[in-house]
Amino acid sequence: MATIELDDVTVTAPTADGEVVLLRDVTAHLTERRVAVVGANGSGKSTLARLVNGLVGAASGSVRVDGLDVATDGPAVRRRVGFVFTQPAAQLVMPTVLEDVALSLRRHVKDKRERETRARAVLADIGLADRADTSVHALSGGQQQLLAIAGVLACEPTVVVADEPTTLLDLRNARAVQERLLSMDQQLLLVTHDLDLARRCDRALVVEDGHVTCDDDPERAVAHYVESTLS
Amino acid sequence: MRTLPLGLQVPGDTVWHRLPTGRKLLGLVLLGVGVVALQGPWLPLLALAVALAVALHAGVPARSLVLGVRPLLVLLAVVAALQTWQRGWPVAVEVVATTLTLVVLATTFTATTPTDDLLDAVVRAAGVLRPLGVDPQRVALTFSLAISSIPVVATLFTQTREAAKARGLERSPRATLTPFAVRTVAHAHAVGDALAARGLGDPD
Ligand SMILES: Nc1ncnc2c1ncn2[C@@H]1O[C@H](COP(=O)(O)OP(=O)(O)OP(=O)(O)O)[C@@H](O)[C@H]1O
Ligand SMILES: [Mg+2]
């Protein structure tokens, strides 16, 4: 399993008068297959997730994936880390379903036929084989999210970071996306407000106001989150 | 949500589908230049008729053509009125027919060309500029983003207008244009993040 190592990470953002701290002194070494991140709106979960592939940079401390430092080996880290966003539409860049998956393969697979074959296999795996030639805009939100995941998996990452991937989906689509993510071979870092889903992971972090206040077995972490929120 | 069938291929095996993409692209550019150079009302009208015939022969549905032209209609009406007033109706016909011809040709091109092939053609064409430090893959990606962002931006515009309407603000350009601009930029940011996350902006 891949490892994500955060050591004393602090993230700041500039404001009109100085800067704000978005995350402070976060340390966590994640080796479990499925790690959940829970916490209130604005607590810093997305910031934490985006650190892992360098979409957000640390002001101090270090972020490493499989021993590679995000700050110095950004491209190599991004080749290992796939990222699934909340909004599926923004992640899809090609006109048709098949082409969007093929786009992910462009950098590794130069032969066009081979690319198409591999893309079709990825689509079959995710249950979208029969939609290969339709417009990405004609898919439902849930199907778009599945396609976004297919685009990510086609890059053969070792880690998948997902930031509230099921928030916009209905029960059935959310279920499909969840099962796909939880059953992957890749390591999963999953930001979610769905506490049942968090409980199904192997470890959970609770983020409160820019701090990781609990890092534990998911049952206990979720209990901590619920208690500290409702008390 | 309203979406446009832009960038969608019409499957088929006509001569237009079989033309090699690079040559087709070059042909499109040369034809475009040629059409713009045409003078007077009759030749541009003839060009439009020929372009329409090609489109229909290639199997492009009339509906796609109408959808491609529709966003331009208001603009074309204004231009036509201005040209008629300033330089007479033959010039107005020339301008309108030329523009419509270009749209029809472009629609036919995209309808008969898989985007993947188009990207390969662009990569090859941009390869000429490699000594100048141009990354062909990046040029191709920019190209495909431009194509695919059209329906998204159109959807954003519709949504913003509906949101303004829901609050009774449809008469206020600020209530539509400001959030539209903001959301377009936000979308561009989100797409940029998504591309970066897929490693598509990184050097090979
Ligand atoms: N670029 C920025 N500049 C200033 N403040 C920022 C910036 N990015 C995020 N923030 C702030 O940092 C805090 C944490 O944001 P983050 O997006 O990580 O929260 P989150 O836990 O993902 O919340 P949510 O559950 O709503 O998605 C928020 O208060 C947000 O307003
Ligand atoms: Mg968030």
Residue of A70, A86, A106, A134 to mutate, interface with B, max B Cβ within 10 Å: A106
* Residue B3 banded pLDDT, cuts 50, 70, 90: very low
Q: Are A24 and A47 in contact (CB under 8 A)?
A: no
Residue A110: which residues within 8 A CB-CB, separation 6 or more? none
Rounded to two decimals, the ipTM of the complex is 0.72
CB atoms inside a 10 Å sphere around CB B31? 18
CA distance A130 to A127: 8
pLDDT tens figures, A7-60: 999 999 988 888 999 999 999 999 999 999 999 999 999 999 999 988 899 999
Q: Which of A142, A185, A136, A145 is nearest to A163 (CA)?
A: A145
3-state secondary structure of A21: strand
Least confident of A96-105, A141-150, B187-196: B187-196
Q: Does B142 touch chain A (CB under 8 A)?
A: no
CA distance B162 to B185: 19
Three-class secondary structure assignment of chain B: CCCCCCCCCCCCCCHHHHCCHHHHHHHHHHHHHHHHHCCCCHHHHHHHHHHHHHHHHCCCCHHHHHHHHHHHHHHHHHHHHHHHHHHCHHHHHHHHHHHHHHHHHHHHHHHHCCHHHHHHHHHHHHHCCHHHCCCHHHHHHHHHHHHHHHHHHHHHHHHHHHHHHHCCCCCCHHHHHHHHHHHHHHHHHHHHHHHHHCCCCCCC
pLDDT tens figures, B116-153: 777 778 878 888 888 888 777 777 777 777 767 776 77
pLDDT of residue A134: 86
Q: What integer best gives the mean pLDDT of chain B?
A: 82
CA distance A75 to A136: 27
Report the nearest-CA residue for atom 25 of ligand 1.
A41
Helix pair A97-105, A141-154: axis angle to 10 deg: 20
Answer whether residue B92 shows pLDDT above 70.
yes
pLDDT of residue B203: 66
Q: Are A37 and A211 in contact (CB under 8 A)?
A: no
| A118: its two tokens | 């591999």
Max CA distance (Å), chain A: 59
Instruction: Please give the helix or strand (H or E) that residue A37 lies within, else none.
Output: strand A34-39
CA distance A115 to B126: 21
Predicted TM-score (pTM) of this structure: 0.75
**Cβ contact, residue pair A95, B8, below 8 Å:** yes
Answer whether residue B107 shows pLDDT above 50.
yes
**Cβ contact, residue pair B145, A152, below 8 Å:** no
Residue holding tokens 């030639």?
A: A133
Mean pLDDT calculated for residue range A171-182: 90
Candidate from A9, A20, A47 with most ligand 1 atoms within 8 A of CB, to mutate: A47
pLDDT of residue B1: 30
pLDDT tens figures, B31-76: 888 988 888 899 999 999 999 999 999 988 888 788 778 878 888 8
Chain A positions touching chain B (beta carbons under 8 Å): 53-55, 74-75, 78-79, 81-83, 85, 87, 89-96, 99, 102-104, 106-107, 112, 115-116, 133, 135-138, 151-152, 155
**Cβ contact, residue pair A89, B152, below 8 Å:** yes
Answer whether residue A4 shows pLDDT above 90.
yes
Structural domain A4-88+157-230, CATH architecture: 3-Layer(aba) Sandwich (3.40)
Report the nearest-CA residue for atom 22 of ligand 1.
A46
Q: Are B148 and A140 in contact (CB under 8 A)?
A: no
